[in-house]
Amino acid sequence: MNGFIAFTKKEFLEQIRSYKAVIMVSVLFLFGMTSPLLAKMMPDIFAQLTVQGITISMPEPTVLDAYGQFFKNMSQMGLIILLLVFNVILSQEVTRGTLVIFLAKGLSRSAVIMSKYLASLILWTVSYVLAAITDYGYTVYLFGNFSLPHLFFSLFCLWLFGAFLLAVLLLASTITSGNYGGLLLTAAVMMVLLIANVFPPLQKWNPVALASDNITLLTNAKTIGDMSATVWTTLLLIVLGLILSLLVFRKKKL
C-alpha cells in the first residue's frame, strides 16, 4: 500500500513537471469559458458575413446553444487533448527502463497500473469539473439563471466516457510497444465504436453514446433511464479494461 501511495505521488509530480497538469487544466478551462461566449456571439458574427449580397441571420442564442457548444468542444477537442496528454501513460517508462527500478524495490506491477490510472483519472476529473463550473458560471452571467433537465447527469456521462478512454488507453499501452502504439490502438478502438454507433440496436450499449447524446438529455429527448444501460456497460468495460491491463502487464517483458 505504501508503494502504491508513493508511486501515485510520483505520478502527480510527473504531471506537474511535464506540464501535463497545466495543459489539461488550462485548455479545458478555456473551453468552459469560451463555449457560452461563442454561442452568445455567433449570431453577431454571422450577421457580419455576407454571401453574394445575402446576409446570414441566426435565431437568438439560448442556454441550450451554450451547452451545445460546450459539449461539442469537450467531446471533440477536449477528449483529443486528454489522449494526447496521456498517450505515453505507460510506454515512456517502459521504453526508458525506469519502471525496472521501482519494481526492483518491491513495487508490484498491479500498483503501477492502478497508480497510473488513478493519477490520470484525478487530473481528468479536476480539469473537467473546473471546466464545467466555469461554463455554468459564464452561462448564468451571459444568459441569466436557467434550468435544464438532466444537466448534471449529462455532464457525468461525458466525464465517464473520458474515464473509459483512459482505461482503453492504458490497456492499449500495455499491449503495444513504442510511444505511439497505445494511442494508435485506442484510435482504432474508437473508430470501431463510432462505426458500431451507426447501427441503432448497438447504440444502447455503446460507450460513444455518453459523448454524443448529451444534448438529447438536455432536451428531454432521452431520459436517465434510456442511458442506464450505456452507463452500466461503460462501467463494466472500465473494470474489464483495468483487469486485462493488470493481467497483460504482469506478463509483459520490461
Cell readout for 144 is 441569466
Degrees to nearest 5, angle at CA 169 with 168 and 175? 90
Please check whether residue 215 is in contact with residue 158, taking contact to mean a CB–CB distance below 8 angstroms.
no
**Number of domains composing the chain:** 1
What pTM does this model have?
A: 0.92
What letter represents residue 59's amino acid? P
Residues contacting 148, CB < 8 A, separation 6+: 63, 64, 67, 218
pLDDT tens-digit profile, the chain (254 residues)? 778 888 889 889 999 999 999 999 999 999 999 999 988 887 666 666 655 556 566 678 889 999 999 999 999 999 999 999 999 888 877 777 778 888 888 888 999 999 999 999 999 999 999 999 999 999 999 998 988 999 999 999 999 999 999 999 999 999 988 778 899 999 999 999 999 988 888 989 999 999 999 999 999 999 999 999 999 999 999 999 999 999 999 888 77
- The domain in which residue 138 lies consists of 2-251
